[in-house]
Amino acid sequence: MKSSDYNFKKTNIKGKDYVDVHERLRYLHDEFYGNYSLFTEYQFMVEMKMFICKATLKMQFEGMERTYTGHAQEVIGDGYINKTSALENCETSAVGRACAMAGIGVIDSVASVDEITKAKNREKQPSKKEVKKRKFTDEKFTDAVKYLKDGGKLEDVKRKYEIDEDTEFKLITASES
């Protein structure tokens, strides 16, 4: 059965249909059982805390062996899943892309719903600067004021937290009262 005739479960994102990686694997198993092999390999870039995965899909089709590859990269800690499962996430993405290169589950895009969701989540990720600002809560403000009243230096607080001029002024005022 051609991939285009298969009943893939689809997810619509902004008017385009995408297929999950597990749906692509289900098709591969259902339609090519015993006539394919799937291998993955990875590298870990220590200095970048990044996995790079390559998936190789070999299929027997119409008497010929055909080979398709997919690549992916994931950074440890980049998003919720990658805090604990960056390698697994990377491998899944690479497998999904290898299947897509074989034409499996390609409707409106080679990208899988997993990749689109991941990209959307990355867009929502705050910058390191925004995260630092958010971490300066009322409780931290109170702690900083106490630290300054006990003789601590404002520069130490500024080094530890990203604070704007308004907050700096409030800290100085509060610590002097």
Residue 11: helix, strand or coil by DSSP?
A: strand
Domain total in the chain: 2
Alpha-carbon torsion (98, 101, 104, 108), positive or negative: positive
pTM higher than 0.85: no
Read off the DSSP letter of residue 162. Answer: -
Higher pLDDT, 10 or 125: 10
- Regarding whether 64 and 144 lie in a shared domain, the answer is no
β-sheet bridge partners, residue 44: 51
Cα 111 to Cα 11: distance, rounded to the nearest angstrom:
12
- Regarding whether 118 and 40 lie in a shared domain, the answer is yes
- Regarding whether 100 and 140 lie in a shared domain, the answer is no
pLDDT in tens, 97-111: 999 999 898 876 666
Q: Residue 132: its pLDDT value, please?
A: 47
Domain that holds residue 35: 3-124
- Regarding whether 164 and 112 lie in a shared domain, the answer is no
- Regarding whether 93 and 47 lie in a shared domain, the answer is yes
- Regarding whether 114 and 55 lie in a shared domain, the answer is yes
Read off the DSSP letter of residue 161. Answer: S
Q: Residue 142: its pLDDT value, please?
A: 84
